[in-house]
Amino acid sequence: MSTRYDVRDGIAVITLDNPPVNGLGFATRRGIADGLEKAQADGSVKAIVLTGSGKAFSGGADITEFGSPKATAEPNLLTLIELIEASSKPVVAAINGVCMGGGLELALGCHYRVAAPGVPVALPEVKIGLIPGAGGTQRLPRVLGVEAALNMIVSGEPVQSDQLAALQGQKLFDRMSDGDLLLTALGFAAEIAAQRPLPLVRELPVSHPNADGYFQFVRNGIAAKARNFPAPAKCIESVANALKLPFDEGMKRELAIFIGLMMTPESKALRHAFFAERAASKIPDVPSDTPLREVRKIAVIGAGTMGGGIAMNFLNAGLPVVMLEAKQEALDRGVATIRRNYEAQLRKGKLKQDRLDQRMALLSTTLNYGDLSDADMLIEAVFEDIEVKRQVFQALDEVAKPGAILASNTSTLDLNRIASFTKRPQDVIGTHFFSPANVMKLLEVVRGKNTADDVLATVMAIGKKIRKTCVVSGVCDGFIGNRMIEQYIRQAGFLLEEGCTPQQVDRAIEQFGFAMGPFRMSDLAGNDIGWYIRKRRYQEQPELRYSRTADLLCEMGRFGQKTGAGWYDYQPGRRDALPSKLVDEMIEGHRTEIGIAPRKIADDEIVHRLVFALVNEGARLLDEGIALRASDIDMVYLTGYGFPLYRGGPMHYADGYGLYRVVKAMQRFAANPHDDAAFWTPAPLLARLAAEGKTFS
Ligand code: NAD
């Protein structure tokens, strides 16, 4: 049963009971409708209270029904609100907790609303590329005023109920409860039971003293942010309709806009990302009720670029961290960097002094492995050198308490080998953070061949606690993200040889929506890192083709922003990438040397060679079982590599483009004598899906 019905002192109480957030799924909607009918028929009932069980009134649509016929089956939400409005007895929404999306629209359809303080209230549809579709844009301005309502609708952000109750002239809440909400609501219902006519939000007036000017102002304000997202502008349009049009006409337009947005690729991409994030936290062969290990204290080994950022994540979450280094100077430098980062946040007003002090007080340092013996999770972030990792993991094995989790932040080394340095490979796992580790959302959680299920489940939970998007990866060179990016960068190199400039490649992919093209990205990360990796890689696989231009660049000492020169020139203290004549000459010289006559390459070819390189390597990762699902790969690229959110990630993009067409494009690329034909052989999974007319999802 997803609703309950009972009658107390002549008041019918309908309680939504569909955990975790009382989503308005089919059974819940049906339950509410049945409850309303029962209450009408019962002569002893004077009024009706609608409330939620647990921590929510209602979080809105039931996401497990998304896309299924149940989601729109009657009574749908609009019908349900109609039934409430038509009720001969007053219906009071008793808003006990989370009130969002369809949940708020349902409450707005009730005759009265009583709320508990501290309840988050929101219309978050814009975040999945939609507008509210059950009257939210028409009713909320009528109770909150145009400006407060539009702020909520355009941002999708929650506002606390007491903050809304304090707004002058608001009609959202008829009463706030300061004790037992249900008792307050029952008392209120008894008071108003006889009042007629019943008030309806749809009948309230709505206006703004300078509507045209105000809406134009908001439109300008969101223009940059909403460039690639149609929904925010549609929110404004629909709220403006509430002022211009009769209520029923405004409702009709709202629904039409909602349905139109449902079909847009941007909303599809946002909804895909929404579900992908949830899916990524589930591991098919690890039950969700696996008991977790307790993690109360963290140790970080290595206080360099990554170690410092990793430590900050845990300090921010209120967990004590001890950092170990080989030398005191390195420790001091590491602590100073963390402090500097926090002080920068303080100056920007993002952190208060007392919070800063609290976080720094949670941090301790040591040169002695013995001091790590009480840590529950020990994360190594020392030099990327297998011998150094061996020393560190042997030392950790000596001192760590039984059951402690031993994690490595390695980006390229074999995690199974690292685990074998210890006598407890079941406790070893990879936690691959991205730089800057305190900022980037992505955490690749690397599951070794011996990693215990509860270690994996615990690290996924800890990752969530430090607000990362965790994606599980198997062990391979580069894991999911870097293994794919290597193919993307290889294509970028070929494009230079065949006739592009770095700025042409960057511009094309940035226009596609990437935050940064491959050459600007390499300049930021440091071109020497790739150089180092290539030396190793091509020693092991001399037959692998790649463009030598990146090596020639490093031989010129152009390591990127840190040396003031890379693929681009940089002026001191500035980050603007300026085209470099020297680099152009280097590329031209290299072309002559290998005998390629440059050709003009269209942006479309640039974009698809780069993106389909990701797709093909991604499909191989799925074939090999390194990645669990295509949507995990999308999450890696959306949260770690600047792939445009409104395109939903490489695999989702390929699905939308059509896998058959993707394979056809790959066949064209393979026929190019300067490219790597072997690479463009479609991965078995991709070939099969394309042949069967299917998609990754
Ligand atoms: P870094 O050189 O900035 O820091 C490494 C730190 O480890 C130094 O402070 C060094 O003094 C310390 N160290 C070295 N040997 C030690 C030992 N035996 N005991 C204790 N401390 C020791 O390097 P980084 O960029 O922070 O990288 C650390 C790890 O993270 C590497 O495995 C790297 O591959 C990985 N990683 C780096 C990035 C990145 O973008 N920099 C991203 C993901 C993963």
Ligand 1 centre to CA of 364 (Å) is: 18
Ligand 1 atom nearest 308 alpha carbon: 26
Ligand 1 centre to CA of 24 (Å) is: 49
Q: How many residues does the chain have?
A: 697
Ligand 1 atom nearest 410 alpha carbon: 32
Tens-digit pLDDT profile for residues 569-578: 999 988 899 9
- pLDDT score of 532 more than 90: no
Residue nearest to atom 39 of ligand 1 (CA): 435
pLDDT at 196: 95
In 3D space, the residue among 281, 687, 632 whose CA is nearest the CA of residue 479 turns out to be 632
In 3D space, the residue among 479, 435, 200, 199 whose CA is nearest the CA of residue 304 turns out to be 435
Which DSSP state fits 19? T
- pLDDT score of 533 more than 90: no
Lowest mean pLDDT among 50-54, 501-505, 574-578, 607-611: 574-578
Cα gap 518→494, rounded to integer Å: 12
Residue nearest to atom 20 of ligand 1 (CA): 325
pLDDT at 513: 95
- pLDDT score of 66 more than 90: no
Select which of 74, 125, 294, 486 is catalytic: 125
Average pLDDT for 106-116: 98
330 lines ligand 1 (CB under 6 A): yes
Ligand 1 atom nearest 333 alpha carbon: 9
Report the predicted TM-score, pTM, of the whole model to 2 decimal places.
Answer: 0.92
Angle at 317 between CA 125 and CA 472, to 5 degrees: 70
- pLDDT score of 62 more than 90: no
Helices (runs of H) and strands (runs of E) counted in the chain: 28, 20
Backbone φ and ψ of 408, nearest 5°: -120, 140
pLDDT at 227: 84
Confidence of residue 225 (pLDDT cuts 50, 70, 90): confident
CA atoms within 13 A on the CB side of 176: 15
CB-based contact 356:315 (threshold 8 Å): no
- pLDDT score of 544 more than 90: no
Ligand 1 centre to CA of 514 (Å) is: 28
Ligand 1 centre to CA of 596 (Å) is: 40
Tens-digit pLDDT profile for residues 361-387: 999 999 999 999 999 999 999 999 999
Confidence of residue 499 (pLDDT cuts 50, 70, 90): very high
Select which of 37, 105, 325, 387 is catalytic: 105
Confidence of residue 65 (pLDDT cuts 50, 70, 90): confident
Average per-residue pLDDT in the chain?
96
CB atoms within 10 A of CB 466: 20
- pLDDT score of 287 more than 80: yes
- pLDDT score of 297 more than 90: yes
Ligand 1 atom nearest 525 alpha carbon: 40
Whether 125 is a known active-site residue: answer yes
In 3D space, the residue among 599, 623, 605 whose CA is nearest the CA of residue 669 turns out to be 605
Ligand 1 centre to CA of 308 (Å) is: 10
Confidence of residue 109 (pLDDT cuts 50, 70, 90): very high
Pocket test for ligand 1, best of 324, 382, 387, 524 (most atoms within 8 A of CB): 382
526 lines ligand 1 (CB under 6 A): no
End-to-end CA distance of the chain: 32
